[in-house]
Amino acid sequence: MMRKTVLFVPILNEKFVARVHERGADAVVLDLEDAIAPESKTLARSVLRETADRLLQRRVEVWVRVNNTTELLGDDLVAAVCPSITGIMVPKVEGALELATISSEVNHLEAKSRIPKDTISLCATLETPAGILAASSIAAVPRLRALALGGEDLAAALGISPRHAALRGPGQIVIMAAAAHNLESWGVIGSIANHTNMNRFAREVRLSRALGVTTIICIHPKQVGVVDLIYRSSSEELDWATDVVRAYESAKIRGIGSIALHGQMIDEPVYLRAKRMLEN
């Protein structure tokens, strides 16, 4: 089942960490990057494993966003590769070789920690023009579970406002690259920083979902509930999907490749869409 929401949590904010298991997000990202001041990076790294262990005991899926800089990345990876971590989110990825090198280092750290190979997944965040243009090759790197659009940083790099209309093109590139390699696509095609105007946030989430974003990144707990409502299939949609799956699978047994149902032609693509709706 694909994640619908991932919630960012500053790892040194104990108030947020203590209640994150109550927020309903499908996964939590403990942030070592933007949410942590330079002078606090070492402290944040030192409490990572204990925090992740505690959250895992509360049945929280834990990811870690590392710092993708020469000075910090190595130490961040050493701290992040541990049994209680599901994946590592790598920001500002600009090329496949860069990500493959990080994947190789994770492989080495898994072996050193006696963690089964390929246990730790990666999510690559594309938030520069170079990263967007390299999306297809980045998406092909093994170990990758998701591609994420970093709309705020991309907008800053382009000198534009992070509005849906401006980010739609780059967002579609990320979505297509992710889908081509059977990855989740994370983010919001708009402003992730918007946690006060819920109407605007909801509008951008609806547009993001319509374009194929599988997983919305949230930076505030109240955003999680908004996303859940938007991504939840209605009873009418579920009834339609159930009818389609049942009728099409029955037709396939009889050697029929397409059928008419409720005034609509049902073939393999429609069937697969209905099946995904029921699985999610």
Do 155 and 245 lie in one domain? The reply is: no
Question: What pLDDT score was predicted for residue 186?
Answer: 97
Do 189 and 261 lie in one domain? The reply is: no
Question: What pLDDT score was predicted for residue 259?
Answer: 82
Residues for the chain: how many in total? 280
Q: Would you say residue 1 has pLDDT above 70? A: no
Question: What pLDDT score was predicted for residue 231?
Answer: 87
Question: What pLDDT score was predicted for residue 262?
Answer: 81
Between CA 67 and CA 90 the distance in angstroms is: 7
User: How many domains are contained in the chain?
Assistant: 2
Q: Would you say residue 235 has pLDDT above 70? A: no
Which ranges constitute the DSSP H helices of 65-197? 73-80, 96-112, 129-133, 135-139, 151-158, 164-180
Q: Would you say residue 133 has pLDDT above 70? A: yes
Do 201 and 247 lie in one domain? The reply is: no
Q: Would you say residue 164 has pLDDT above 80? A: yes
Do 43 and 180 lie in one domain? The reply is: yes
Residue 113 near residue 82, CB atoms below 8 Å: yes
Higher pLDDT residue, 88 or 198?
Answer: 88
Between CA 14 and CA 98 the distance in angstroms is: 33
Q: Would you say residue 233 has pLDDT above 80? A: no
Question: What pLDDT score was predicted for residue 234?
Answer: 61
Q: Using a pLDDT cut of 70, give the percent of the chain over it.
A: 98
Average pLDDT, the chain: 91
Of the candidates 43, 47, 42, the one whose C-alpha atom is nearest the C-alpha of residue 17 is: 47
Region 219-231: mean pLDDT is: 91
Higher pLDDT residue, 49 or 237?
Answer: 49
Q: Would you say residue 276 has pLDDT above 80? A: no
Q: What is the CATH number of the domain that holds 148?
A: 3.20.20.60
Long-range contacts made by residues 265-268, C-beta under 8 angstroms, separation at least 24?
Answer: none
Ranges 98-107, 193-202, 255-264, most confident? 98-107
Do 40 and 177 lie in one domain? The reply is: yes
Q: Which domain holds residue 269?
A: 235-279
Do 128 and 245 lie in one domain? The reply is: no
Q: What is the pTM of this model?
A: 0.86
Question: What pLDDT score was predicted for residue 150?
Answer: 95
Do 64 and 166 lie in one domain? The reply is: yes
Which region, left, alpha or beta, applies to residue 263 given φ > 0 means left and ψ of -120 to 50 means alpha? left
Do 195 and 270 lie in one domain? The reply is: no
